[in-house]
Chains A and B, each alone.
Chain A
Amino acid sequence: MMRKVLVTLAIIGFAFALLPMVFEAGTPDAPGGLASAYLEKSPQDFATANVVTAIVVSYRGFDTLGEVAVLFAATAGVGALLTRKRLGLTEPDAPKTPSTEILYTATNLLTSLLVMFGVYIFIHGHLTPGGGFQGGVVIATAVLLNLLASPGSHVAHSVMSAVESLSGAFYVGLGLLGAFLAWGFLDPRVLPIGKIGALVSAGSIPLIYSVIGLKVGAELSAILDALKGDRE
């Protein structure tokens, strides 16, 4: 009882402490200094139609490399922990109930569309909203549908780890190329930046986002497969 009263008091205290922020909240009329610098410079510097991508991949590219590394570490951890031995399951599970006809048919129809949509999202990352992370998650969704539709199936781990490590190496390689041929590590101007709005433009940003998309897709598919829990 005493604890509940204290918790309630603490919540009320936080509410009063944060109350001034409520009145300050709102949409600013003009972007701040750094934001307007990005908005003005990124079309000239990198010819990206989507400013968010220019910030994520080039201005703040090192952060993105760190994020990808974190995701890789998380995948490795999940893969190491969630094996059948660790979960204490010695014999294979009882035969799984097959999926329904509706799910099976819908999966067959949707898989190719979902993969295509994911690839579209990350290839057009420099033109339209979205990018490697979102596209990778959409691809992982297609893998999830397939895992649900045929419960006994598995993701091909050799293919996944090959895609994952090759795209990671390609990403770091492009970054190093930027350090040697352009203005700095992960600078996308190793390739001609081209005309704004074209599919082949913005230097190496489409390439970087494509490898990020493949990497994220492979990693999340591996996590989903490990979470099924019947891996050797």
Chain B
Amino acid sequence: MLIDLIILACGIAMALAAIGAVVTRSLLVSIILSGGVSLIASLVFLLMGAPDVAMTEAAIGSGLTTVVYLYALSRSKQADNEDSEERVENPSKETGVQP
């Protein structure tokens, strides 16, 4: 009974975190929340008696995937900065916009 209640609470927390990850405007917060969803999911797997799946979910879902997303985010930010620098240096290169 107690375990059912904990699983239910975990489910509600997962749903809230997932909605938050979609709704929020900051990509960083979104990545962290989706990692949190995986972390709670691994707890649910553990409570349901599937430690193998829980280990995989904790290590890959909340650990490695989050890191991959964070690397991609920093990379896209760098590309953004380089683009805007180019635009400032020679604005005529940009299509459709006349200086």
Contact = CB atoms under 8 A, between A and B. Distances in A.
Interface of A: 27, 50, 52, 87, 121, 129-131, 133-134, 137-138, 140-141, 144, 220, 223-224, 227-229
B55 interface: yes
B52 A137 contact: no
A138 B59 contact: yes
B68 interface: yes
Given A134-B59, A137-B60, A229-B75, A52 B52 contact: yes
Nearest to A228: B71
A5 B64 CA distance: 36
A134 B56 contact: yes
Complex A-B, nearest 3 residue pairs according to Cβ-Cβ distance, in ascending order = A129-B51, A137-B59, A227-B71
Contacts of A121: 55
Interface in B76-97: none
Interface string B21-61: 00000000000000000000000000010011011100110
A50 B52 CA distance: 10
B44 to A, nearest CB: 13
A224 B60 CA distance: 13
A140 to B, nearest CB: 7
Contacts of B13: none
Given A141-B63, A144-B67, A133 B56 contact: yes
Given A130-B55, A131-B52, A137 B64 contact: yes
22 contacts: A50-B52, A52-B52, A129-B54, A129-B55, A130-B52, A130-B55, A133-B60, A134-B55, A134-B59, A137-B56, A137-B64, A138-B59, A141-B59, A144-B64, A220-B64, A223-B68, A224-B67, A224-B71, A227-B68, A227-B72, A227-B75, A228-B71
Given A52-B52, A130-B51, 15 more contacts: A50-B52, A121-B55, A129-B55, A130-B52, A130-B55, A133-B56, A134-B55, A134-B56, A134-B59, A137-B63, A137-B64, A138-B59, A141-B64, A227-B68, A228-B71
A9 B72 CA distance: 34
Contacts of B63: 137, 141
A229 B76 CA distance: 11
B56 to A, nearest CB: 6
B2 to A, nearest CB: 15
